[in-house]
Structure 1
Amino acid sequence: MGVYRVRVSTGTSVYAGSKNQVELCLVGQHGEAALGELLRPARDQEQEFKVDVSEYLGLLLFVKLRKRHLLQNDAWFCNWISVQGPGDGGAEYRFPCYRWVQGNCILRLPEGTGCTVVEDSQGLFKKHREEELEERRKLYQWGNWEAGLILNVAGTSLSDLPEDEFLENKRVNFEDSLAMGLADLAVKRSVNILSNWNDVDDFNWIFWCGYSKLAGQFPTPSWKEDAISGYQFLNGANPMLLRHSIQLPDHLVFPPGTEELQAQLQKELKGGTLFEADFSLLDGIKANVICSHQQHLVAPLVMLKLQSDGQLLPMAIQLQLPRIGSTPPLLFLPTDPPMVWLLAKCWVRSSQFQLHEMQSHLLRGHLMAEATMRCLPSIHLIFKFIIPHLRYTMGINLWARNGLVSDCGVFDQVVSTGGGGHLDLLKRAGGLLTYSSFCPPDDLAEWGLLEVKSSYYAQDALRLWEITYRYVEGIMDLHYKTDVAVRDDHELQNWCREITEIGLLGAQDRGFPTSLQSRAQVCHFVTMCIFTCTGQHSSIHLGQLDWYSIRNAPCTMWLPLPTTKDATMEMVMATLPTVNQATLQMSIIWQLGRRQPIMVPLGQHEEEYFSSPGSKAVLKRFREEQAVLDKEIEVRNENLDIPYEYLRPSLVENSVAI
């Protein structure tokens, strides 16, 4: 009983407001009160009104809202609704929404504190949870766009996804940048098609614009240097391939005359300074055919040494795996003729491009994030936790499936793993996904990178993981007081089980859990989910424009791998992509790698899914710890020749949004 103060917030996107009337109803523990048709929501506005309620409602549980229309259904994007109880000291309740309200259906918004099944001991939200989960399973159905790949949310176009998944401001920006990229591509193609390129530096012609800050500050020849080649394994666009050697690889073959090299490798191995990058995942993948011309793939093995000054230098490159009954593969060395050694490194960088884009970026960075929407109601704290880190991901993933890796897509047009090989590579890589590989403390320790001081990726990934873990732990401690509360939360258990058994096609034999038995396990699993969608994606996304120039990362190779150590500049140029392929590669890399104008840094999302003071305090500490790390990285980078910024919190995006 008494006067309630109600505030309604509408989103900022172009069509967020509505000319339709909205009616509200307050639902409390002891009753409910209809407030009538009170507003026509205005874009980017907070509207406030007061209503006198005669009923005694008690603790508020829900706001029910209904948007009515006669002729035109004018959708409304509601941010949140706030209700303050009677009197000056009345409690204020926040009801988060952050979704489109369409049609005439009644939408029930639960109060935003967050509530697990165990906490809802009186069953106040039981019916709501069940109905919402049923609706979500219909809305987000499992699909399988390619047999043998991890599952995705079904949909063949953006119109198949809920409106909430790709707001028009993001859609407009994405489509505008794509149109600009295609226009730039057309101009460059029309001019360069008459060009006669005789040297790798001639590829500069396709850099009329779109240089990244880092790529622009390097002198042209630097990409050829061994130090830059080694540095990229530590801190480049794909730092997830490097491993500390504990023995010489079984498939490393030493042809006659390489005894001195073998002794050098053994010396580095004993000294703990030998590393390797193994591309054997590419072995047997069928290469593309482009313009009726067979393209070529190799599966290199690179042996590297870590010097006392932190530089990582390649010692030997083997471009293919040995075959029984065949001539042993060549070992390419830094002492070989310059063009021979350069060509071998180009083959390695082309292989790196394939594994980065398909395995590290698309599979591990994008496709892993599509299970949460089905299995948790919006009142569950895990849903509230993860939903900001999934913003735009479904739409971006669908665009990738339709435009990049589809039939006649970009990969089929210009990439050596296109034409079906890229899908075989995805399947092969998907079958090797392990839980530990998504958790930097475990992954970096397993591969011996924690003590490598010049691996700024390893240092920053570990620090950001630890900060994120403390954030997760802070929220979990507010809701799960005991391990029993974790085990008894059947919504949590169903979410975990569905990700592992269904979404990942039965990945429990590779360490992914099918249940969570303790608070520590929940914290680890949720941190993995958030880090995968934020820091891990950032570490493999932000470096594309810096490192994936056509010379440093050719998308395909036109000639077969060399069988002798006899190479010329003409052979190098004939092996690298054509003018048209190079131009298209750089246009796509610009589209994927550019800094986004609509960008939300990690933890800085405006959406407030949690309403309790305790939750807000945990988020505040998370942001403060990020600011400290951000400043430390900034100070460190001032003393580096090549600053490493891909895990700097102010540059890490809050979700996989591109």
Structure 2
Amino acid sequence: MHALFLVDPWSILILEEEERAENPPKKVRKIVSNHLKSSNPKSESRLPLLSLDIYVPRDERFGHVKFSDFLAYALKSIAQVLLPEISSLFDKTINEFDSFEDVFDLYNGGIKLPGKATVSKVRNRVPWELLKELVRNDGERFLKFPIPEVIKEDKSAWRTDEEFAREMLAGVNPVIISRLRDSPLTKYSTPIHDMLQFKFKYEIIIKHNLVFPPFQQAMESNRLFILDHHDALMVYLRKINSTNTKMYATRTILFLQDDGTLKPLAIELSLLHPQGDHRGAVSRVFTPAEDGTVEGTIWQLAKAYVAVNDSGYHQLISHWLNTHAVIEPFIIATNRQLSVLHPIHKLLQPHFRDTMNINALARQILINAGGMLEITVFPARYSMEMSAVLYKNWVFTEQSLPADLIKRGIAVPDETKPHGLKLLIEDYPYAVDGLEIWSAIETWVQEYCDFYYPTDESIQKDEELQSWWLELRNEGHGDKRDEPWWPEMQTRDDLKQTCTIIIWVASALHAAVNFGQYPYAGFLPNRPTISRRFMPEPGTPEYSELEQDPELGYLKTITAQLQTLLGVSLIEILSRHSTDEIYLGQRESDEWTCDDEPLAAFKRFGERLKGIEKRITEMNENPKLKNRVGPVKVPYTLLFPNTSDYSREGGLTGKGVPNSISI
């Protein structure tokens, strides 16, 4: 098939034109090759689209089982090859979901193909083996997906305000919410409290029966929280909104209720001033309204715009940048500077398994120009630019979970509490379970490092270790080489802190932001990735449509059908555990070291993780902890270590902390 040599829809259009002119494939490939050549001799050339011949050092390649699993899952996500065919197919039929029932059909039986003639036409233009995988067994339904957990027990609970807020604490991106404090005044911002005092009157609070003390008192008593996707996204609004995407920068204010749940109070939607960026933002504030009314649908749309922001930020920053991308320099420096017999190499190597290979594949089909992320998330062609720019905010020491919680104002130091922290949202599943795992990792690293490095001087005289750290700072994270926050690697505490953060990021942090993708975002109305039109204004056709058919108006605003299919296909792959996964507290071999004390310490680490599993199970069964399960009845298990023998089952388990970033 000629299409196997192509890299993007533009090239496929060239192919179609050349085929109609009956030019030979060789000429077609030459045209595409010339199109892709860069004037920069140091630039990399892109591989053919479906090529898996990506250079990865031999000892960093997938094992046979992992590679087999990956190929099997990838067959369900062949969207880039079929993109023109799928686009053509849906453009002639149903490019929109008409109701939520149409979305549910994706899981009940897929999308009905328009007819055998169309199937025959598509069959002539794509590999039949791939088409059969999409059509599945009955030959009539297209792209049937597993039922996401968020709608398995209740098809409508995702729409509640309680679930909307709960997912900020226990969903797929629980690492952004922060305590509302005095807001910094920036070129795009008005201080939040001023905005609310002016626009969000107390009469509205009374109208909606919210138990809410005076604003300043609520803030000082740590009852107000914010999901802030405002200033980071304002920079890109004008660029992004010049495309088919129509989005806002958002801020969501939430109130901590007496039962430990969060209540959304207001959502701010902001655009840049039409008379220029120097004029700042133009903002509108929306407040909760009753379901079943136009105001209720408007409120649902406001929450959807927030979810769009959060989905894109999650995928590009929380997930790709802050786990996959930042850990790769550590892998390279470890392999270059530490011998395989070095104790720190032995400590860290399990947490680097398969990461180089999965990152290489991501650069080929996921984060590349014209790749899956650009097609399915709102920043589109600005995705990698945004990720690269926001890397300037990355601070290595703040990747420590306690430091992160303190920075976000979610916790305060308190030596009388476990882990030396007091959580201001006590029922915060990600933080509660995360602190348990962080503490277990920290203890394991401390016991291991103390055995091999009895003094600070032993750290300073270890030439391999010093070369490793020098390369990491100056080459691996070279943009950050002069930052004052880097540990100096002169003391045992420096080494322990560094290794604990590396293991946490590669294992628990990645698990928390990755394996919940399909359970929560597999149903796109709950986590839309794109908004296609602005909030409808009274008197417009869009507003009338919203009045007459709220579901259709909602669906026409969020991710379209084609992008939904592509996005759900992608996250189904990303959310699956491989059958050869090795989880935290496990090793490929029991003979990884001959030293008895490290082996005993590692066994204690495993036993502590088993105790954490038991506590997580107990908490999920406690009805007083409402954020553990929520209205959708999905227990929080993303940080369930999964140390038992049955953990090799693989698939969409929604639980387990792998040692490494392997998908």
TM-score (norm 1): 0.71
Do the aligned residues in 1 keep the contact of 2:237 with 2:271 (CA within 8 Å)? no
For residues 589 and 596 of structure 1, what CA distance do their matches in structure 2 show?
Answer: 14
For residues 307 and 604 of structure 2, what CA distance do their matches in structure 1 show?
Answer: 41
Question: What does 1:599-610 correspond to in 2, within 5 Å?
Answer: 599-607=581-589, 608-610=591-593
Deviation of 1:206 (Å): 1.9
Question: What does 1:294-309 correspond to in 2, within 5 Å?
Answer: 294-309=244-259
- Amino acid aligned to 2:228: D
Query: Aligned to 2:319, what secondary structure does the other structure show?
Result: helix
Identify which of 613, 635, 645 aligns with 1:630. 613
Deviation of 1:216 (Å): 4.4
For residues 536 and 144 of structure 1, what CA distance do their matches in structure 2 show?
Answer: 33
Q: Deviations over 1:430-460 (max 9, x none)?
A: 1110123310011112223231211011011
For residues 325 and 43 of structure 2, what CA distance do their matches in structure 1 show?
Answer: 12
Do the aligned residues in 1 keep the contact of 2:80 with 2:372 (CA within 8 Å)? no
Query: Aligned to 2:380, what secondary structure does the other structure show?
Result: coil
- Amino acid aligned to 2:478: L
Q: Residue 614 and residue 257 in structure 1: after superposition, are their counterparts in 2 closer, same or farther (change >3 A)?
A: closer
Identify which of 562, 579, 598 aligns with 1:615. 598
For residues 401 and 230 of structure 1, what CA distance do their matches in structure 2 show?
Answer: 33
What is aligned with 1:551? Answer: 525
Q: Residue 511 and residue 245 in structure 1: after superposition, are their counterparts in 2 closer, same or farther (change >3 A)?
A: farther
Structure 2's unaligned 5+ residue stretches are 1-41, 46-50, 109-143, 206-212, 412-422, 623-627, 643-655
What is aligned with 1:173? Answer: 69
Identify which of 355, 361, 377 aligns with 1:415. 377
Q: Deviations over 1:212-270 (max 9, x none)?
A: 66324331111111001100111110111100122256433359653326985434213
Identify which of 308, 330, 342 aligns with 2:284. 330
What is aligned with 1:8? Answer: none
Identify which of 339, 346, 350 aligns with 1:388. 350
What is aligned with 1:68? Answer: none
Match status 1:644 vs 2:598: no
What is aligned with 1:582? Answer: 564
For residues 411 and 270 of structure 1, what CA distance do their matches in structure 2 show?
Answer: 40
Do the aligned residues in 2 keep the contact of 1:188 with 1:583 (CA within 8 Å)? no
- Amino acid aligned to 1:580: L
Match status 1:281 vs 2:232: yes
What is aligned with 2:173? Answer: 238
Deviation of 1:283 (Å): 1.7
Match status 1:657 vs 2:662: yes
- Amino acid aligned to 1:501: N
What is aligned with 1:369? Answer: 327
Question: What does 1:54-133 correspond to in 2, within 5 Å?
Answer: none
Identify which of 287, 291, 298 aligns with 1:340. 298
Query: Aligned to 2:361, what secondary structure does the other structure show?
Result: helix
Query: Aligned to 1:595, what secondary structure does the other structure show?
Result: coil
What is aligned with 2:391? Answer: 430
Match status 1:198 vs 2:95: no
Do the aligned residues in 2 keep the contact of 1:234 with 1:457 (CA within 8 Å)? yes
Q: Residue 589 and residue 242 in structure 1: after superposition, are their counterparts in 2 closer, same or farther (change >3 A)?
A: same
For residues 494 and 394 of structure 1, what CA distance do their matches in structure 2 show?
Answer: 21
Q: Residue 184 and residue 295 in structure 1: after superposition, are their counterparts in 2 closer, same or farther (change >3 A)?
A: closer
Q: Deviations over 1:46-73 (max 9, x none)?
A: xxxxxxxxxxxxxxxxxxxxxxxxxxxx
Deviation of 1:382 (Å): 0.8
Q: Residue 211 and residue 176 in structure 1: after superposition, are their counterparts in 2 closer, same or farther (change >3 A)?
A: closer
Choose between structure 1 and 2: higher helix proportion: 2
**Which has the greater radius of gyration?**
1
For residues 577 and 643 of structure 1, what CA distance do their matches in structure 2 show?
Answer: 27
How many residues were matched structurally? 505
Do the aligned residues in 2 keep the contact of 1:297 with 1:417 (CA within 8 Å)? no
Q: Deviations over 1:366-400 (max 9, x none)?
A: 11222322221112111111111111100000111
For residues 564 and 170 of structure 1, what CA distance do their matches in structure 2 show?
Answer: 54
Do the aligned residues in 1 keep the contact of 2:453 with 2:459 (CA within 8 Å)? yes
For residues 462 and 550 of structure 1, what CA distance do their matches in structure 2 show?
Answer: 30
Question: What does 1:113-262 correspond to in 2, within 5 Å?
Answer: 158-166=53-61, 167-182=63-78, 194-195=93-94, 197-208=97-108, 209-211=144-146, 214-247=149-182, 250=185, 251=189, 252=192, 253-254=195-196, 258-260=200-202
Deviation of 1:593 (Å): 1.1
Identify which of 459, 463, 466 aligns with 1:493. 466
Query: Aligned to 2:254, what secondary structure does the other structure show?
Result: strand
Which moved further from structure 2: 535-544 or 498-507?
A: 498-507
Q: Deviations over 1:462-519 (max 9, x none)?
A: 1101100111111111110101111121221222232223222242555542631211
Q: Residue 256 and residue 417 in structure 1: after superposition, are their counterparts in 2 closer, same or farther (change >3 A)?
A: same
Do the aligned residues in 2 keep the contact of 1:471 with 1:619 (CA within 8 Å)? yes
For residues 409 and 325 of structure 1, what CA distance do their matches in structure 2 show?
Answer: 35
- Amino acid aligned to 1:179: L
What is aligned with 2:12? Answer: none
Do the aligned residues in 2 keep the contact of 1:543 with 1:646 (CA within 8 Å)? yes
- Amino acid aligned to 2:529: C
Q: Deviations over 1:123-158 (max 9, x none)?
A: xxxxxxxxxxxxxxxxxxxx9989xxxxxxxxx965
Do the aligned residues in 2 keep the contact of 1:360 with 1:540 (CA within 8 Å)? yes
State the structure with bigger RCO (CA 8 A, min sep 6), 1 or 2.
Answer: 2
Identify which of 534, 543, 546 aligns with 1:560. 534
RMSD (Å) for aligned C-alpha atoms: 3.0
Choose between structure 1 and 2: higher strand proportion: 1
Identity of aligned residues (%): 25
What is aligned with 1:116? Answer: none
Query: Aligned to 2:248, what secondary structure does the other structure show?
Result: coil
Do the aligned residues in 1 keep the contact of 2:151 with 2:158 (CA within 8 Å)? no
For residues 589 and 527 of structure 1, what CA distance do their matches in structure 2 show?
Answer: 28
For residues 598 and 160 of structure 1, what CA distance do their matches in structure 2 show?
Answer: 22
For residues 325 and 289 of structure 1, what CA distance do their matches in structure 2 show?
Answer: 19
Do the aligned residues in 2 keep the contact of 1:244 with 1:274 (CA within 8 Å)? yes
For residues 536 and 217 of structure 2, what CA distance do their matches in structure 1 show?
Answer: 29
- Amino acid aligned to 1:499: L
Match status 1:593 vs 2:575: yes
Identify which of 422, 429, 448 aligns with 1:456. 429
For residues 243 and 527 of structure 1, what CA distance do their matches in structure 2 show?
Answer: 24
For residues 378 and 144 of structure 1, what CA distance do their matches in structure 2 show?
Answer: 32
Do the aligned residues in 2 keep the contact of 1:185 with 1:583 (CA within 8 Å)? no
Which moved further from structure 2: 297-306 or 558-567?
A: 558-567
Do the aligned residues in 2 keep the contact of 1:287 with 1:418 (CA within 8 Å)? no
For residues 494 and 237 of structure 2, what CA distance do their matches in structure 1 show?
Answer: 40
For residues 301 and 145 of structure 1, what CA distance do their matches in structure 2 show?
Answer: 39
Which moved further from structure 2: 465-474 or 180-189?
A: 180-189
- Amino acid aligned to 2:356: M
Which moved further from structure 2: 300-309 or 259-268?
A: 259-268
